[in-house]
A and B are shown apart, each in its own frame.
Chain A
Amino acid sequence: MTIPHTVRVGVLVVAATSFYTYVGQMVPQKEVLPPQETQIRADLTTADMVKVGREIMDGKGLCFTCHTIGKTGALRFPDLEGVDTRAQSRVPGLTDIEYFAQSIYEPEKFIVPGFNPGMPVINKPPIGLNDQEILCVIAYLQTLGGKPTVTLQTSHAYYKAPGAPGGPPASGVTAEQGAAPGGAPPAPPGSAPLPAPGKPPAPVTPPGAPGTPPASPAAAPAPVAPAKGTR
């Protein structure tokens, strides 16, 4: 019996499609959920912030899409192992907190030598971490080679904590993500306006404020970073 060509062609189409579907089932299956909003209580301790920071870096912050911890070899983005040690002296005049803050709010300002620019501005969409979430991330980064000192009351060049000089009045409320007309809530109370592009404000960390690192020896604006580099 001869099978009609139409039937053979039909079988071929179904077989080829089925084969590709099968290949699709063979690769790792991962469903990626939208990032969860992190609720940050006003009374978080530094230790709590470290945990929250790690969660944010794993999830909403998407940090580990590019960065690694403890990986060597030809890397596309800087490895974060021992990053706090480097952060303390990477840019003259910036403490580790100030350096991390600059990396997150103005990542193009200093590029670690050997790497290309590429880090997005983290406090803006699509990632859009708020100031408190960024503080938690900084707390975690401090644990990588250093001791976490940051608290929710810590101010830096891009954020004035509630109650800090020049900052908004203290309120116990923390915030959600700010941003877009797609439904995300507006910027949180307590978040300071961002500096104008290309014009970073002077660091405003109150010396001696609880949990803040000692005042930087050079309060003057950081020297201009090399054009190419890595974080």
Chain B
Amino acid sequence: MNGVLKRRLLFVVGPFTGLVMFASVVMIATYLTNREYKEPYRAPAAIVDTTPRVEGLAAETAAAEATAKATPYAEAEYRTFPIVGSRVAIWAVAQLHLLFAAFVLAVPLFAFIIEVIGYKTKDSRYDRLAYEFTKLLSTSFSLTATFGAFLTFMLIALYPKFTNYLMSVFSPTFLPYVLLFFLEAFFLYTYYYGWGKFHPLVHIGLGLGLNLVGTAIMFIANAWLTFMMSPRGISDQGAVLSVWDAVWNHTWMPINVHRVIANIAFGGSVAAAYAAFKFLQAETDEERAHYDWMGYIGNFVAISAFLPLPFAGYWLAKEIYAYSQTLGLTMMGGAFSWLFIIQAVLIGNLFLAANYYLWLGMGRVEGMQPLQKFIKFLLIGIAVCFAVWATPRSIIATVSELRAMGGSTHPILGYLGVMSAKNTAVNILILTTFMSFLLYRRTGKVATVSWAKTGHAAQLTIFAAAAIIVVFLGIYGYFVEATVRIGLSVPQVSSVLAAMVSITAIDVFLFRGASRTGEVRWGKIPAISQYVLIFIAVTFTWLMGLMGYVRSGLRQHWHVYGVIRDTSVDAFTPTLGFATRVVSVTVLLFFLLIGFVFWITTLHDRPDFEQTKTRRREGSGEVSPEFAVGTAGEHRRTS
């Protein structure tokens, strides 16, 4: 029964299903056919009549073309860089160019000096050290030139009118600049690739040429940028009266001096960071000893240059004030005054880190215990000076706090926020760091000259006298008129400089032929010291970025101060928070690129691929190539 029913059902459902399926196929086919692209119907072209609309459109196109052809040339004043804007783009590129340029100018300076020391002492370690520093130059030089070209094109593209004006003023300097640049390339590559290939004196001559040409290039470029800040040699309307006066403007020479010193400090710190990086990667005691020594020399160069840097800064600030009180006051008392609190934090960190490194370094030398007891006093001195220097004149406070203080100036701390206190603090800071150096220098040595006791007493007296003069004048500054107070910084600075020079001079003779209580054990220093060196390099770089900003930003809404006004959308002075963010980004970019330079330099020392394969096959132990004799990258002078 069931079977019969099923069969009947199949008879009924079967045709019905067939019909449904057929209908579905037809519907799908119809749907797909409708979706097929069909050429729309168009009347044959020959029979189309032109309509008034078509004629109108054609006339419009023709008129637009004619207008475009007849448009006269008009110079754009500004163009916009996408996303970050023109100012930030120029800022970052200029900063990167300057950082690499500073490095490329500084390293040959101390490489040259170290090479001369090596030649004079016949100590091949110095020669090798100088070469090691020079190895960093080749790639850095290319990057400097690339960023220089990038900056020039960016200026032409983004600030055409202003760039045109600068070109009209300084066009006579361009040809010498380019020629010097060629010479720089010649000297640099001959100096580098000619290491050990010439007579030592010829090579030293090449180094001297490299330094002279590099300094001349920087002086020319400095003329352009200092003219923007303190223009001279032009009429009230900006016409050029004397190119030489435009070059030798008020801030040119102070900037030249300031930059030479700052470049050495910066270059030394980056070279020390390279040594620190290599120290951390070193696998043998010999490597560690070498890079510890290299880091020490780099840091020594950096701090030696850093100590007189504030004095060059004073001179620059003095010239800025002499050129325009408005400019000077904008710097120290106006929009940029808080920037100097940030600067104080940076410089305080530099002093602390540099001293910490020196104190750690004393551990390398046996018999340093007698001097260790002085360190805590130095640390207290540095900490107090740092705190005074970083004290702002006016405190950020809530309304109730302001009421309680009776104004934005703290009733007690406010006295530390003025120049009298800050000048005193920075001078004592310099003296203290100098004493650290001196202690480090005499670690493990005992003076044997007959007048040793008198010499020590004289040094101590000079140091104490300088400190007393600085503190006395600092306090005296609170009780005199502004005219007198401003002048007090000169004797303060002079007494510190005189103390540094005279104490060093005595020290040189005092420790001539000194007996040693212990040898310097290079490489025997905690790894943290190497991170300190890297921290110093980062801080120096950041400081350069910040001070570059204040030098440039000081002009505020002027391209050329008082002559060419900035009418772009970026004419305002940004907040310090924004400025520091830009500085940080450029610093990180710089370290990314300098990491690339380090890596390239390391590649240079690695053995060739084939050599490595052979060694691996032979199962030889890992030996760093630069410490193995006769491997690739070995260019040591044989004399």
Give me the interface of A with B, judged by CB distance under 8 Å: 5, 8-9, 12-14, 16-18, 20-21, 23-25, 27-35, 62, 65-66, 74-77, 114-116, 118-120, 124-127, 179-184, 228
Contact = CB atoms under 8 A, between A and B. Distances in A.
Main secondary structure of the interface of A (DSSP, over half): loop
Closest 7 CB pairs of A and B: A24-B580, A182-B565, A118-B325, A34-B557, A182-B564, A125-B562, A29-B575
Contact of A182 (B277, B481, B531, B558): B558
Interface in B446-492: 478, 480-483, 485-486
Given A20-B584, A23-B580, A118-B325, A180 B480 contact: no
Contact of B341 (A27, A34, A75, A182): A27
A123 to B, nearest CB: 11
Contacts of A115: 481-483
Interface in B499-536: 531, 534-535
Contact of B329 (A29, A65, A180): A65
25 contacts: A12-B531, A13-B534, A13-B588, A14-B588, A16-B542, A17-B587, A20-B342, A21-B581, A24-B342, A27-B338, A27-B342, A27-B576, A33-B572, A34-B566, A35-B557, A66-B325, A74-B481, A114-B483, A119-B325, A125-B563, A125-B565, A126-B324, A179-B236, A180-B562, A182-B565
* Residue picked from A25, A34, A181, most chain B C-beta under 10 Å: A181
Contacts of B584: 17-18, 20-21, 24
* Residue picked from A24, A62, A76, A179, most chain B C-beta under 10 Å: A24
B342 A31 contact: no
A9 B542 CA distance: 16
B561 interface: yes
A20 B575 CA distance: 15
A31 B535 contact: no
Contacts of B571: 34
B437 interface: no
Contact of A32 (B335, B485, B565): B335
Contact of A5 (B280, B325, B558): B280
A119 B576 CA distance: 27
Interface in B319-351: 321, 324-326, 329-330, 333-335, 338-339, 341-342, 345-346
Contacts of B577: 24-25, 27, 29
A166 B105 CA distance: 61
B574 interface: yes
A32 B566 CA distance: 14
Nearest to A228: B483
Contacts of A8: 280, 531
B559 interface: yes
B378 interface: no
Nearest to B527: A5
B558 A127 contact: no
Given A17-B542, A20-B584, A32 B573 contact: yes
B369 interface: no
Nearest to B396: A28
Given A17-B587, A27-B338, A116 B482 contact: yes
B210 interface: no
A35 B584 CA distance: 29
Nearest to B581: A21
Contacts of B560: 182
A119 B321 CA distance: 11
B579 interface: yes
B341 A126 contact: no
